[in-house]
């Protein structure tokens, strides 16, 4: 069931942006987004210059599984306009944030709307794309946040944005040159040798090289370069299985890493999603599954009171348990990666080491779970959102504005 207000907003010409977070929340609760999409598409036909309608429609189509059509609509929106105001903050704005984003799907940028939903921060998105010149002026702001995620397609964009931000007259959070080093093999190299961790050696290989691996290398996990969320991720136990996998994949390059059996004594696999905000550690979820490839939505958390009870207990004991056990390792990871906001998917091995799956600036963290079933989640996520807001506010306190070269900032 879609709220009437959302349907009205979708139909109103030149209405403010509905935004990805509100639409994703509807999809999360399995609401039928087709009526919203139909109204947005009608708006684009009646008002072809209504960029907000095009961008919101692109979100809806992606959520309905029409990814390529949605991205086509996004390209049209960005050709009309590159600057978008995010939905107004929950409270009187205490800070104006400019977010640099690149084109792409929901995993192409830090999902900033979820992080700001309870904040007093007004945010504007400036889209930048690899095929267009960087803007000569951007909206005025107190702090700039780079949300662009690492991928092959974004490598030139991150390089150009890094040059653009040299000597920037406002504080910059999450420097693009550091984001550019977050490829799976790049992050693995950066974290090599961190005490108390297990970071499986990830290697990027072309198809021909992968076909030559000997059985001594197995078992392996393999995925196409730039794939996420377990898409086309597979465990292969020998060369024949790898060759079958490669034959079924259109990609030309892959990431391969040794498979680590991290099951607990009960045979269950436990994956933590945590974030570091200004070096402080927060838990976002603990997913428990009988399968090694753990994703929160397919781990059966909704259907198991026992799993939810374990997650609630793990969250309650997190600061004095997990965070304390791995404090030294995570402090070193924070120092090596050097981002003020960073997501980490990880687990614990049976011998007590921190097993790192991925470090990324664009992991989805949210507070959308049903409060009736997950009453323990909202207070935990409020801590994350509060820390993120405090981090941005602190940048203004640490770097007060000094009049100077503001030629790149619009009034």
Q: Which residues contact 390 (CB under 8 A, 6 or more apart)?
A: none
Residue 117's pLDDT is: 86
DSSP state of 296: G
Structural contact between residues 44 and 14, judged by C-beta atoms closer than 8 angstroms: no
Predicted confidence at residue 2, as pLDDT, reads: 65
384-406: pLDDT as tens digits:
999 999 999 999 866 655 555 56
Half-sphere exposure of 290 (CA within 13 A, CB side): 2
Q: What is the pLDDT of residues 125-146, one digit of tens each?
A: 999 998 888 998 999 999 999 9
The DSSP secondary-structure symbol of 82 reads S
CA 40 to chain centre: 26
Residues in the chain with pLDDT < 50? none
Tokens of 296: 């929160």
Q: Kindly report the three-state secondary structure assignment for every residue of 242-262.
A: HHHHHHCCCCCEEEEEECCCC
C-alpha closest to that of 109 among 185, 176, 181, 26: 176
Q: Radius of gyration over alpha carbons of the chain, in Å?
A: 22
pLDDT of residue 33: 94
Tokens representing residue 98 in the block: 């400019």
CA distances from 33 to 1, 20, 37, 339 (A): 9, 12, 6, 35
The residues with which 203 forms a beta bridge, in sequence order, are: 256
* Residue 221, SS3 per DSSP: strand
**pLDDT at res. 92:** 84
Residues 6 or more apart whose CB falls under 8 angstroms from that of 154 comprise 102, 108, 130, 148, 180
Closest residue by Cα to residue 255 from 266, 246, 247: 246
Written as six digits, the tokens of 52 are 């907000």
Tens-place pLDDT, residues 8-26: 888 899 999 999 999 999 9
Question: Which sign does the torsion angle of CA 319, 324, 329, 335 carry?
Answer: positive
In Å, what is the CA distance from 121 to each residue of 92, 97, 192, 205, 303?
8, 7, 37, 43, 36
Burial class of residue 114, CB neighbours in 10 A (0-12, 13-18, 19+): buried
Which pTM does this prediction carry?
A: 0.94
d(CA 194, CA 273): 19
CB-CB contact of 220 with 255 (8 Å) = no
Q: Give me the domains of the chain, ranges plus CATH numbers.
A: 94-174+377-411 (3.40.50), 201-258 (3.30.1490.20)
State residue 242's pLDDT score.
Answer: 92
- What DSSP string describes 159-215? HHHHHHTTT-SS-EES-HHHHTT-SHHHHHHHTTT-TTEE----EEEEHHHHHT--G
Q: Identify the pLDDT of residue 120.
A: 92
């Amino acid at each position: 069931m879609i709220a009437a207000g959302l349907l009205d907003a979708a139909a109103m010409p030149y209405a403010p942006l509905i935004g990805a977070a509100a639409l994703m929340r509807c999809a999360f609760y399995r609401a039928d987004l087709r009526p919203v999409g139909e109204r947005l598409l009608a708006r684009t036909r009646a008002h072809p210059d209504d960029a907000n309608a095009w961008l919101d429609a692109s979100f809806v189509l992606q959520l309905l599984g029409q990814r390529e059509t949605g991205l086509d609509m996004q390209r049209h929106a960005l050709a009309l306009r590159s600057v978008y105001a995010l939905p107004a903050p929950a409270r009187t704005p205490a800070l104006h944030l400019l977010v640099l984003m690149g084109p792409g799907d929901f995993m192409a940028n830090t999902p900033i709307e979820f992080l700001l939903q309870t904040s007093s921060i007004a945010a504007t998105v400036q889209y930048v794309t690899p095929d267009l010149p960087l803007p000569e002026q951007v909206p005025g702001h107190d702090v700039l946040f780079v949300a662009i995620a690492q991928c092959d397609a974004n490598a030139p964009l991150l390089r150009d944005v890094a040059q653009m931000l040299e000597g920037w007259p406002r504080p910059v959070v999450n420097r693009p040159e550091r984001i550019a080093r977050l490829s799976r093999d790049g992050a693995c190299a950066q974290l090599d040798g961190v005490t108390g961790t297990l970071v499986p050696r990830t290697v990027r290989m072309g198809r021909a090289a992968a076909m030559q691996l000997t059985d001594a290398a197995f078992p392996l996990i393999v995925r196409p370069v730039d794939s996420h969320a377990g898409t086309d991720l597979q465990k292969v136990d020998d060369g024949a299985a790898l060759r079958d996998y490669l034959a079924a994949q259109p990609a030309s390059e892959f990431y391969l890493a040794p498979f680590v059996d991290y099951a607990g004594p009960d045979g269950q696999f436990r994956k933590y999603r945590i974030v570091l905000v200004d070096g402080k550690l927060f838990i976002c979820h603990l997913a428990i599954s009988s399968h090694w490839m753990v994703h929160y939505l397919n781990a059966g958390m909704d259907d198991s009171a026992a799993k939810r009870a374990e997650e609630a207990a793990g969250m309650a004991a997190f600061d004095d348990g997990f965070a304390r056990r791995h404090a030294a390792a995570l402090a070193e990871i924070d120092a090596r990666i050097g981002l003020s906001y960073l997501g980490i998917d990880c687990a614990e091995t049976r011998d007590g080491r921190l097993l790192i799956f991925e470090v990324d600036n664009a992991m989805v963290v949210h507070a959308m779970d049903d409060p009736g079933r997950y009453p323990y989640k909202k207070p935990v996520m409020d801590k994350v959102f509060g820390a993120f807001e405090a981090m941005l506010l602190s940048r203004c306190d640490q770097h007060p504005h000094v009049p100077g070269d503001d030629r790149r900032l619009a009034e």
